[in-house]
Structure 1
Amino acid sequence: MKQLFKKEILVIILLFITGTMSSQFVARHAMTPAQYQTEFNNLSAKGYRVTSLSGYTSNGKELYAAIWNKVTGPAWAARHGMSSTEYQKDFNDKVSKGYRLVCLSGYGVGNQAKFAAVWDKSSGGTWKAKHNMTAADYQKAFNDNSKAGYQLQQVSGYVVNGTEYFAAFWEKKSGSIIARHNLNSADYQKAFNDFTSKGYHLKCVSGYQKGRTDLYAAIWEKSTYPLAMAKHGLSRKNYQHTFDNLYYQGYVPVFVNAFASSGADNYNAIWTNKVMKSADINKMDNAVENYMSTQGVNGYSFAVTKNGRLVFAKSYGYADKATNEIMSPNHSMRIMSVSKSVTAAGIMKLLEQNKISMNQKVFGPNSILGSKYATPSDKKKLNDITISQLLHHTSGLRSCNGEAEFWNKDKTYDDTMKMLLKSSDLLKFDPNTKYSYSNTGYFILALVIQQISGQSYENFIRTNVLNPAGVGSGMYVGLANGSVKSNEAHYTPATKQNMQLWAGFGGWVARPIDLVKYLGKVDGSTPPTDIIKASTHAILTQNTPLSPNYGCGWTISGDKQRHNGAHGGSRSWLAEIGDGYSIAIIINNAPSNDDNLSKLLNDISTAVKSVSAFPSYDLF
């Protein structure tokens, strides 16, 4: 039977809530008892204290989730894995020494109840606690304690041998709370929406499964509270994705509860945000959600820097709609033609290493590739092509990517280059006579990098561009068979091109966070310090009379660099948008009515620039 409790009592928040993102916290989940103990010891030695602790099981295995904060406070203690008898003994001992409960978790392991608890010596009113209560016992305890003026502070529901039990504690204070238990997911969501609309905030939520149904017990209280976010019933994977998503919006975790659910584990959690205004986040949410709904987009992820600092990132929708995996800022996605800017950066590094020149010939006698790929007799004009022309799309080469070689996982660069050289229409016009956007030019530039450096294209880029820029393993060239890697989003349609052969013109996969970090290192401004010289940046962004709006791998708009990408189920933007802002956006399916992707960039850019203030921190 679902119960509704309501009582006027004073509000106290038992969790230590971090005030800013500069506050230090650590959150871990799916820890075995030994892993939790090791983490506890290490973090305690560094001045962290446990502020939220939950024991639970997954496939019968005892696990823990916890939040630590580096804050000062009264003496404290925590214990886990206690039987009912051990918990009662510890309870009596702690009370006799002046400690009071601040966190309590009951959970079933096999056929017995276990407990984890956090105590401290904070001041406060008289308090009471009780565990192993049946639903009827819990109802009676709530009624009796409410009549005596005690406020319910925390409740933990758990199931042992098919019976639900509750552990809870109360404090004698005044204020307004609402508590409910034995709510299924839909009823809990309805209660949450109803109570929050009336000015209550969620203080505690505990999940437990009876039979095959996930149930929830929760406490709401009416008080002034910062911007908050609460989620329930998240799978382990989606809990991590949600955690990451909220972190990059300025939220910090204040409460976590995990519970056994059909052999796996589900998570409930609460976060607060003291560094962003709700109205500012709503501006960006509205822009993204409107774009997604009107363009039929499944998943959307973006990141924002201000003067080189990562100040915000957020993801929406699904990384894999078929499996209900939500999108996270840490999901990588194909960036397609934004890859050209990466290839151009690699060429700039070769310039700085004096291993290449902009006017150097690519084919023919004494050229970069001439000794490896002989110029066909019917294509002597290839010998006029220079590095600069390839970079600026003025080489006269037609574009590529539709040929069978680019879609065959077993084909190599040599196979593909030989195919192109045999192609009767490889040259559309004489080199250096007009502009024509060409994937082929950047495919050849990848070959140039390999030939000059003696390394694979990807290894050279990682060593000379990404590593110096501080970009890690979230950015990589995709797989030759066109499949997605672990933690890479899925695409609609799921095209299967050979991403290794596409590398130079469209094969890179990245997080938006990686892209804005990379851009900050090749944008000609500080901070942060660029990985290329100012003189090299001038070459990178220099257009030509034939390509007035295109530099080397970048579209140039005044002093702004930008490039987009589009193919199959991926669309992307990487752009400076003015006022010190740069933005990266990736979506994982084609929009229905935005062919040039102007709306994709403009809508969120307008929202970002209308934000009253982003925090002063750097989330990189």
Structure 2
Amino acid sequence: ADKLRPGNVRLTNEHSSAEEFEAAEKTVRSFMRKWSISGASLAIAKNGSLVYAKGFGLIDTLSGEEVQPYNKFRTASISKLITAIAVMKLQEEGRLSLDDKVFGPEGILNDDYFSNPVDKRVYDITVAHLLSHKGGWTLRWGDQMFMPLTIADKMGLKPPVPTRTIIRYALDKRLHFTPGKGKAYSNLGYSILGLVVEKVTSMPYEDYCRKYILAPIGIFDMQMARNLPSEKAPYEVTYYEPSDIVPKPSIYGTNELVSPCYGGNDIEALGAAGAWLATAPDLVRLALSVDGFDTRRDILSENTIDFMTDISNGLAPIGWKTTYPNGTWWRTGSYPGTAGMMKRQADGTVWVVLLNSSAWNGPEIHSFINSMMTRVISQVKDWPSGDLLEHSLPVPLFADLTDYQSKAGLLQEP
């Protein structure tokens, strides 16, 4: 049982403490000071091996506890990559087709609750449309996933409202464009895909992803985020927003004004569009399983990875935010109190940065994260030769020994 102590099964900052990282780490600290970031986690892989994983700053400014590589962060829209992988896996297995209709009598979500949409074009929405943000919704009247009190009021329900209710609310309005004929970033579309996964697999979305996407690649402690500080996951960081942030009415309908990151928005309803919690090393592990390089076995076929990233096909990027023909792909995420970025570079470098604070410039922080990481990587002349993913077994801390042994078996590389 000694093996299950956190120090033995978890990567810590000690594993990436070496003189050759000092200049790069100064760059990280300077970035954090500039943008008032309380805590950050970085992980870098080269040619399929995790060569660096380190936490910076504090998990929580009150406790003064330092961030470690095993601390979990809200990943916001990086979650969309996990959802896209799940859908493409089901497509590979023949359990759904990207051309399948989502709504209507012949659709995957053919429940009565979703019948009779105001706009009959809803019946033309396919799985592919949702994956590629072509479902027909824009943010013209705001993001449906961020107006829970309005929706509760319109639907005559007590807040908070679940994802299904938000979708029904959207179906009671006209689409903004004909499905497939336009493109607009849509959290709603990816939240719907979460329900598609549930219907096709007869499993809760989170359970399906954990068992069939994450566990086979050696990720065991990613989970969905909750809204309130009292519901934090083990080893999850605390989130911070700029001091001048405007509080929002609680999604629980209590009339209190609360922080947007703790009860002012509903991360749980976002679900498949933005609710995953993860460590930076686990997200690197995820990226390495769909990076298309031959250094590690991918969880999806080469054809599927090409389909998700080849922008000439009219649907890509799928799951990723941007995929360039030169082999540079990235995925970003931001939510009040957090920001994250994952990048796959053509030279075989994969990196992840997670922050537990929002900067005043919101989503624009990602271009600054990218610049910082370009500098960080250039400042390290000599990368370690080992693989930190081999160094520790990423098993849940609440596992019993039998569970630990069976899951450890999954970690054997082919």
TM-score between the two structures when normalised by the length of structure 2 = 0.79
Work out the CA distance in 2 between the residues paired with 1:457 and 1:245.
30
Contact persistence 2:40–2:56 (CA under 8 A):
yes
Contact persistence 1:480–1:501 (CA under 8 A):
no
Q: Which residue of 2 aligns with 1:421?
A: 171
> Could you say what secondary structure the match of 1:248 adopts?
helix
Measured after TM superposition, the shift of residue 301 of structure 1 is 0.9
Q: Which residue of 1 aligns with 2:352?
A: 584
Contact persistence 2:48–2:296 (CA under 8 A):
yes
Work out the CA distance in 2 between the residues paired with 1:392 and 1:521.
21
Work out the CA distance in 1 between the residues paired with 2:135 and 2:311.
14
Q: Which has the higher helix share?
A: 2
Task: Name whichever of 593-602 and 505-514 sits farther off.
Answer: 593-602
Contact persistence 1:481–1:498 (CA under 8 A):
no
Work out the CA distance in 2 between the residues paired with 1:451 and 1:392.
20
Q: Which residue of 1 aligns with 2:45?
A: 305
Work out the CA distance in 1 between the residues paired with 2:373 and 2:362.
14
> Could you say what secondary structure the match of 1:323 adopts?
coil
Work out the CA distance in 2 between the residues paired with 1:454 and 1:469.
22
Q: Deviations over 1:81-105 (max 9, x none)?
A: xxxxxxxxxxxxxxxxxxxxxxxxx
Q: Does 1:360 align with 2:100?
A: yes
Q: Does 1:568 align with 2:336?
A: yes
Q: Deviations over 1:143-178 (max 9, x none)?
A: xxxxxxxxxxxxxxxxxxxxxxxxxxxxxxxxxxxx
Contact persistence 2:78–2:274 (CA under 8 A):
yes
Contact persistence 1:284–1:608 (CA under 8 A):
yes
Measured after TM superposition, the shift of residue 536 of structure 1 is 1.7
> Could you say what secondary structure the match of 1:342 adopts?
helix
| AA in 2 matched with 1:247 | E
Give matches, 1:23-172, under 5 Å: none
Work out the CA distance in 1 between the residues paired with 2:354 and 2:211.
25
Where does structure 1 lack aligned partners over 5 or more consecutive residues?
Answer: 1-37, 43-236, 252-275
Contact persistence 2:163–2:270 (CA under 8 A):
no
Q: Which has the larger radius of gyration?
A: 1
Q: Does 1:283 align with 2:13?
A: no
Larger relative contact order, structure 1 or 2 (CA cutoff 8 Å, min sep 6):
2
Contact persistence 2:137–2:176 (CA under 8 A):
yes
Correspondent of 1:478 among 211, 218, 225: 225
Contact persistence 1:521–1:529 (CA under 8 A):
yes
Correspondent of 1:492 among 229, 234, 240: 240
Give matches, 1:164-563, under 5 Å: 245-249=12-16, 251=17, 276=18, 278=19, 280-398=20-138, 399-404=143-148, 411-422=161-172, 424=173, 427-473=175-221, 475-479=222-226, 481=228, 483-493=231-241, 494-496=261-263, 497-543=265-311, 550-558=317-325, 559-563=327-331
Contact persistence 2:338–2:357 (CA under 8 A):
yes
Work out the CA distance in 1 between the residues paired with 2:347 and 2:84.
25
Measured after TM superposition, the shift of residue 486 of structure 1 is 2.1
Q: Deviations over 1:456-478 (max 9, x none)?
A: 000111111101111111x1111
Work out the CA distance in 1 between the residues paired with 2:163 and 2:356.
27
Work out the CA distance in 1 between the residues paired with 2:176 and 2:307.
26
Contact persistence 2:71–2:237 (CA under 8 A):
yes
Measured after TM superposition, the shift of residue 557 of structure 1 is 1.8
> Could you say what secondary structure the match of 1:495 adopts?
helix
- RMSD over equivalenced CA pairs, Å: 2.7
Measured after TM superposition, the shift of residue 544 of structure 1 is 5.6
Q: Deviations over 1:208-233 (max 9, x none)?
A: xxxxxxxxxxxxxxxxxxxxxxxxxx
Q: Deviations over 1:54-93 (max 9, x none)?
A: xxxxxxxxxxxxxxxxxxxxxxxxxxxxxxxxxxxxxxxx
Measured after TM superposition, the shift of residue 354 of structure 1 is 0.2
Work out the CA distance in 1 between the residues paired with 2:159 and 2:291.
35
Measured after TM superposition, the shift of residue 432 of structure 1 is 1.3
Measured after TM superposition, the shift of residue 552 of structure 1 is 3.7
Distance 1:307 1:301, change over 3 A: same
Measured after TM superposition, the shift of residue 508 of structure 1 is 0.4
Measured after TM superposition, the shift of residue 436 of structure 1 is 0.5
Task: Name whichever of 494-503 and 375-384 sits farther off.
Answer: 494-503
Contact persistence 1:299–1:587 (CA under 8 A):
yes
Work out the CA distance in 2 between the residues paired with 1:377 and 1:503.
22
Work out the CA distance in 2 between the residues paired with 1:247 and 1:491.
24
Q: Which has the higher strand share?
A: 1
Distance 1:372 1:350, change over 3 A: farther
Measured after TM superposition, the shift of residue 491 of structure 1 is 0.3
Contact persistence 1:311–1:619 (CA under 8 A):
yes
Work out the CA distance in 2 between the residues paired with 1:316 and 1:472.
23
Work out the CA distance in 1 between the residues paired with 2:88 and 2:271.
17
TM-score between the two structures when normalised by the length of structure 1 = 0.54
| AA in 1 matched with 2:23 | K
| AA in 2 matched with 1:366 | E
